[in-house]
Amino acid sequence: MQIGRVVGHATATVKHATLKGWRLLIVQMLLADGKEDGEPLLAIDHLGAGVGALVIVTNDGAAVRDLVGAKNSPIRWLVMGLQDQ
């Protein structure tokens, strides 16, 4: 798990069948001191996080594939929670 900040939403007119119905967020991962860590990544969200929100994300691919109900899903990142300010 890691903390990240939502920097935007992604929209796709065509996407993998396992991602239909999921919100796609662009998340900038953060270091412990709040500085950016690498390039932003794509995560699925079912909690309704908005731009600027601090989120807890996981890259546990097995858990994410289990949640979407398909072993062939290309997604690797999932918003697990919203961090209190």
pTM metric for this prediction: 0.88
Q: What is the pLDDT of residue 1?
A: 86
Fold of 2-82: OB fold (Dihydrolipoamide Acetyltransferase, E2P) (2.40.50)
DSSP string, 12-23: -SS--GGGTT-E
Q: What's the pLDDT tens digit per position in 27-42?
A: 999 999 999 999 999 9
SS3 33: coil
The pLDDT tens digits for 6-15 are 999 999 888 8
Q: What is the DSSP letter of 52?
A: T
